[in-house]
Amino acid sequence: MKTIVPFREGLFESGAEQGVLLGSRCRQCGQVVFPGRPSCLNCLGEEIEPVRLGRRGRLYTYTIVHMPSEHFPQPYAIGWVELPEGVRVFSQLKGWQEQPLKTGLEMDLSFETLWEAEDKEVIGYVFRPVKGAKA
């Protein structure tokens, strides 16, 4: 059995039935960022609250990569997904062979195995097109 480890600590909660991405919001200027920060990069405010970001967003842009990478066999898809809080999240995109990607497409958050190392399985966030969604 391989140990399941998150891609990064503190970026998301995936234990519950439906995982979420964890961002932060500045109580002073309202700026929401992902990954969350202990203080605000926008106004340097110190009062920060954690935010569980919305799971559904729109594909801001995407690309199919035909180049080698450390963890992903080619071709693979990556893109920026714009979440309801106005935050853009860079992510691996899955399910694009079944449902072609399009700028503006509705995308759903999912937690999956990103890659496997010798003794561990690294899990993280990916986005998939919402079934039947149109851009």
Sign of CA dihedral 125, 126, 132, 135: positive
In terms of CB distance, is 1 or 67 closer to other proteins?
Answer: 67
Residues lying near other proteins in the complex (CB under 8 A)? 7-8, 31, 33, 35, 41-42, 60-72, 76, 78-80, 87-88, 90-92, 102-104, 114, 124
In terms of CB distance, is 1 or 84 closer to other proteins?
Answer: 84
Q: Give one word for 4, left, alpha or beta, with left for phi > 0 and alpha for psi -120 to 50.
A: beta
DSSP symbol at 54: -
In terms of CB distance, is 17 or 92 closer to other proteins?
Answer: 92
Q: Least distance from C-beta 26 to other proteins, angstroms?
A: 11
Report the alpha-carbon distance of residue 44 to residue 60 in Å, rounded.
Answer: 28
